[in-house]
Amino acid sequence: MVERFHRQLKAAIKCHGNPSWTETLPAVMLGIRAAWKDDLQSTIAEMVYGEPLRLPGEFITASQEPDANTQADFVQNLRRHTQLLRPTEGTRHGKKTPFVFKDLATTDLVFVRRDGPKGLLEQPYEGPFTVRRRSDKTFVVLIRGREVTVSIDRLKPAYLQQQSETPIQPNVVQNKQTHTRFGRRVHFPDRLQYT
């Protein structure tokens, strides 16, 4: 079956008489696909596409001058049709609403996201910084002694641990002597003792 197709392809290329077979291959393949098959009662192209291929000779037809009235009718119909068209509202699929923390409305300290290029192990947020003023879209934040206006989608509330007012007592290491379960005191040589 494949040999038969190759024989047919080779014979068709030879008929063109062009030494460069790559230039004639598209025309030969079009001819093979548009050839009538008696056993199938159709062409290969009809079986694939559901309708016959339009061959290059069928594109050129005797030109007929269209009547002036039909051109005017066509223009009128076209104008009437375009007047009936109404634009439809487009949809934006790329519009994303930024995530905003609810606690930003009440917090006094915020972290500010770095938007520039970051290193691999660099933290994404700086801060915490003090909030001076806030609006719907921006906050005025005190960063390194300057008031900077920052967009709300770059902010994150800072949750700091409350400082306990009781003073922390230092741990006093008591020199406890170790005893065995029988009550004997364990004594290590001085060279093994921690100092």
Domain-wise residue ranges, the chain: 2-57, 102-157
pLDDT-derived band at 62 (thresholds 50, 70, 90) equals: low
Q: What's the CA gap between 66 and 2, in Å, rounded?
A: 50
Q: 120-151 pLDDT, tens per residue?
A: 778 889 889 999 999 989 999 999 999 999 99
pLDDT at position 142, please? Answer: 94
What DSSP string runs through 15-27? HH--S-HHHHHHH
Residue 114 has pLDDT above 80, yes or no: yes
Give yes or no for a cis peptide into 128 (omega within 30° of 0): yes
Q: Please indicate whether residue 93 or residue 128 has the higher confidence score (pLDDT).
A: 128
The dotted CATH code for 102-157 is 2.30.30.140
pLDDT at position 155, please? Answer: 92
Q: Are 109 and 160 in contact (CB under 8 A)?
A: yes
Please report the sign of the dihedral spanned by the C-alpha atoms of residue 21, residue 22, residue 23, residue 24: positive
| Strand ranges inside the chain, DSSP E | 36-37, 42-43, 109-113, 125-134, 138-143, 146-151, 155-157
Q: Are 127 and 165 in contact (CB under 8 A)?
A: no
Helix, strand, or coil here: 104?
A: helix
Residue 94 has pLDDT above 90, yes or no: no
Say which DSSP state 80 is in.
H
Residue 101 has pLDDT above 90, yes or no: no
